[in-house]
Structure 1
């Protein structure tokens, strides 16, 4: 069954990449996974120093909307790592694409995030 992936690309404010990565790796990604979101890959982008990516997979658009509404509306997020991340972001862009399970497995393997 094909899955919907969300590719979120962040352009970060100068000098914030290391703090952003630490907050994502240590706090936000574990929270996302605890809430049932499939984090495929995340991390620093290879092509520019001030860019970062987060790729998540969902079974449907409805699943994406429901999981994200629950997560981003939670006090755990708002009172947790939200400000440490949002304060680093200059802009971001979301892209949604339907892909095969094999494509998702390949993204996991090639990008090495756990």
Structure 2
């Protein structure tokens, strides 16, 4: 199996880091887990209170694309934290790497 890790880096609206983290911890990450997505880590960057990271592991590129497609189109996401999370993000960057445990 060729597992991959996706690293998402967010630049948040000024002063929203703590709010974003609260939503991630209490709403978004539990939804990820319910959808079978492995969240390795997430949190506020040490260098900036309005920079955030999310690391997720998947069972390969095809599996990642399918799981994310399903997750981001689910009613749980669309009627849950999506609107507030998106409103707090100023910019985002994505990198996908091979998972090397």
| TM, length-normalised to structure 2 | 0.95
Is the CA contact 1:6–1:57 (under 8 Å) kept in the aligned structure 2? yes
- Could you list the structure 1 runs, at least 4 aligned residues long, displaced by more than 2 angstroms after superposition: none
- Residue 106 of structure 1 corresponds to none
Is the CA contact 1:6–1:97 (under 8 Å) kept in the aligned structure 2? yes
Equivalent residue pairs, number: 101
- Residue 109 of structure 1 corresponds to none
Task: Tell me by how many angstroms 1:15 deviates.
Answer: 1.3
- Residue 110 of structure 1 corresponds to none
Unpaired runs of at least 5, structure 1:
102-114
- Residue 32 of structure 2 corresponds to 32
After TM superposition, list the pairs within 5 Å mapping 1:33-112 onto structure 2: 33-101=33-101
Is the CA contact 2:23–2:85 (under 8 Å) kept in the aligned structure 1? yes
Structure-2 separation of matches of 1:2 and 1:34: 23
Task: Tell me by how many angstroms 1:99 deviates.
Answer: 2.4
Is the CA contact 1:2–1:100 (under 8 Å) kept in the aligned structure 2? no
Structure-2 separation of matches of 1:22 and 1:85: 11
Task: Tell me by how many angstroms 1:56 deviates.
Answer: 0.2
| Cα RMSD (Å) | 1.0
Task: Tell me by how many angstroms 1:98 deviates.
Answer: 0.5
Could you report, residue by residue, the CA deviation over 1:61-106 in whole angstroms, capped at 9, with x for unpaired residues? 00100000000001110100111111100000000010212xxxxx
